[in-house]
Amino acid sequence: MPVEIPTHLTPELVPLSWLLGTWRGDGRLGQGLADDEHIRMEVSFSQDGLPFLRYEAQSWLIDAEGSVLRPLTRELGFWSLVRDQSDADVGPGMRAAEIVPALKSADEVEALRNESGGFDITATIAHPGGISELYYGTIKGAVIELATDLVMRGKQSKEYTAATRLYGLVNGNLFFRWDVQEGGELKPHASAALSKIADAPGPDGLGSGAPDSESGHDDAAGPSDS
């Protein structure tokens, strides 16, 4: 399935552009065995002209027939290519960046390719309960592999020391796997297959396409069972 690249993207987001939009689907906790619980996930990637993607995810516990039982959790974060920082980057805080992007052409982005032919990326993801993750990894084509470099835990957080995530685009669907280490070795935590239900809005707030009719839902009640 061809990936349409929005014309308004800053050049360094092109390798990540196939993530843009809202994705929804069902999966399982743990190894996906008969007794493992069923989940529904909705994941959104968007951008506002700056050199990173905004990431939002929410999940619900569902029964074997797909009916929503209750909300599970949410995640918020930012994803970007790994490169040297410059005056074109915002911060610290609200210090404004230069208008001209750090990477102005496809050739400058291509120069960032790693030895495997992909790009090094980073993702920062925050969770309820006082946990924030800093991931580093790679994106090569439509496959992303991430591993935590740091897990920050607050006083009220549960034990959690490391994680890996795998994302892949197969036949237009986004496949996801998350392994978590809670003091011992990494173990399967969750996996799901997600279908795109809406395109991402551009930096002006306008999307390049209308969402599917099933995409509207009340967050408190959970997503459509369809």
Report, as an integer, the average pLDDT of 81-86: 92
In a domain, 206, yes or no: no
Structural domain for 28, as ranges: 11-197
pLDDT digits over 142-164, tens only? 999 999 999 999 988 888 899 99
In a domain, 220, yes or no: no
In a domain, 112, yes or no: yes
Nearest CA among 62, 94, 56, 59 for reference residue 75: 56
Report whether pLDDT(33) > 90.
no
Instruction: Retrieve residue 136's tokens.
Output: 């580093």
- Tell me the CATH number at 163: 2.40.128.20
The number of distinct structural domains making up the chain is 1
In a domain, 114, yes or no: yes
In a domain, 95, yes or no: yes
Give the predicted TM-score (pTM) of the model.
Answer: 0.86
What pLDDT is stored for residue 207 in this prediction?
A: 46
In a domain, 102, yes or no: yes
Q: How many CB atoms lie within 10 A of CB 67?
A: 12
In a domain, 214, yes or no: no
In a domain, 207, yes or no: no
Q: How confident is the model at residue 56 (pLDDT cuts 50, 70, 90)?
A: very high
What pLDDT is stored for residue 200 in this prediction?
A: 81
